């Protein structure tokens, strides 16, 4: 059992490679209860890979991924599924079930026998969460009838409807208009205030991340090259961080 002072997620010396390519090397971070924790870095640096490691969808070749006091990489499928029930993830590409309607997609996590909800309660919850993400009235549509940003919002509604203790967002605002991005960023904060939810937000959109996150790590070359508050990261003089934060377009990234 973990206490309020213990991290809900901890990565310790995580190494992950595919074939001969090292993707993460000695990645580390500790994320505490109720934190909104950001992970940023350039495209292809390993942000989505980190989320897949936290969910236990892939295992590191070295190091530990710990969630709620349990080392994820040691778990068998049954224990892993139990742990996963405490986590929600909104995938970068939404990953909806194509043959299911919007309502069926969003209701998916509520249909677990343990939830014991009536059809009426499920419909009510689905309507409530569709409204939260600004998608009310689209219940009977199929994912193929939606835009990328709409699919993304359905993916978020599907993930948060069970109010998991930990929510992982992979590029939650990519493809959304500024108003809808604002709605989603506010939602992340609201879920913390209402339920004490811990959130991990992965993105390369620096300004949005800085507006919502308490602390942020930056990945570069498979490593964590910075971990700090948005305020301190804005003043960070490490060239690779400064260049990323300021969005400097010229020249190679300096380490």
Ligand X SMILES: Nc1ncnc2c1ncn2[C@@H]1O[C@H](COP(=O)(O)OP(=O)(O)OP(=O)(O)O)[C@@H](O)[C@H]1O
Angstrom CA distances, 1 to 6, 111, 186, stand at: 10, 27, 31
Q: Measured from the CB of residue 46, what is the shortest distance to ligand X in angstroms?
A: 4
16's CB contacts (< 8 A; 6+ apart) are 22, 23, 24, 27, 46, 49, 53, 58, 60, 61
Q: Tell me: does residue 65 bind ligand X (CB under 6 A).
A: no
Given Mg ion, ligand X, none, residue 44, with its beta carbon under 5 to 8 Å by kind, binds ligand X
**Between 44 and 251, CB nearer to Mg ion:** 44
Residue 225 has which token pair?
A: 């090259």
Given Mg ion, ligand X, none, residue 175, with its beta carbon under 5 to 8 Å by kind, binds none
Q: Tell me: does residue 70 bind ligand X (CB under 6 A).
A: no
Among 47, 125, 192, 215, binds ligand X (CB under 6 A): 47
Q: Tell me: does residue 44 bind ligand X (CB under 6 A).
A: yes
Q: Which residue is nearest to Mg ion (CB)?
A: 48
One character per residue 70-109, x = contact with Mg ion (rule: CB under 5 A): ----------------------x-----------------
Q: Helix 178-195 and helix 148-160: axis angle, to 10°?
A: 0
Q: Tell me: does residue 90 bind ligand X (CB under 6 A).
A: no
Asked if 209 contacts 38 with a C-beta cutoff of 8 angstroms, the reply is yes
Asked if 112 contacts 71 with a C-beta cutoff of 8 angstroms, the reply is no
The interface with Mg ion within residues 22-61 (CB under 5 A) comprises: 47-48
What SS3 state is found at 24?
Answer: strand
Q: Tell me: does residue 46 bind ligand X (CB under 6 A).
A: yes
Alpha-carbon gap, residue 5 to 155, rounded angstroms:
31
- The number of beta carbons lying within 10 Å of the beta carbon of residue 186 is 12
Q: Tell me: does residue 45 bind ligand X (CB under 6 A).
A: yes
Q: Which residues bind ligand X (CB under 6 A)?
A: 18, 23, 41, 43-49, 92, 204
Q: Which residues bind Mg ion (CB under 5 A)?
A: 47-48, 92
């Amino acid at each position: 059992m973990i206490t309020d002072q213990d991290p809900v997620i901890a990565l310790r010396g995580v190494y992950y490679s595919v074939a001969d390519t090292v993707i993460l090397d000695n990645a580390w971070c500790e994320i505490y209860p109720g934190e909104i924790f950001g992970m940023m870095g350039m495209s292809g640096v390993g942000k989505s890979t980190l989320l897949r490691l936290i969910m236990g969808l892939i295992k590191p070749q070295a190091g530990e991924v710990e969630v709620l006091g349990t080392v994820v990489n040691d778990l068998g499928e049954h224990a892993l599924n139990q742990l996963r029930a405490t986590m929600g993830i909104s995938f970068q590409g939404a990953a909806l079930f194509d043959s299911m309607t919007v309502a069926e997609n969003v209701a998916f996590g509520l249909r677990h026998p343990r939830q014991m909800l009536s059809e009426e309660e499920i419909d009510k919850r689905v309507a409530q969460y569709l409204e939260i993400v600004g998608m009310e009235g689209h219940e009977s549509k199929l994912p193929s009838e939606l835009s990328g940003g709409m699919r993304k919002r359905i993916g978020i509604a599907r993930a948060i409807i069970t109010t998991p203790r930990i929510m992982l967002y992979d590029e939650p605002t990519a493809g959304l208009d500024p108003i809808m991005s604002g709605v989603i960023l506010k939602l992340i904060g609201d879920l913390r205030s209402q339920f004490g939810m811990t959130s991990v937000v992965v993105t390369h959109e620096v300004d949005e991340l800085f507006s919502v996150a308490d602390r942020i790590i930056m990945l570069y070359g498979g490593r964590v090259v910075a971990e700090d508050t948005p305020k301190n990261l804005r003043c960070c003089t490490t060239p690779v961080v400064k260049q990323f934060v300021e969005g400097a377009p010229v020249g190679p990234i300096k380490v």
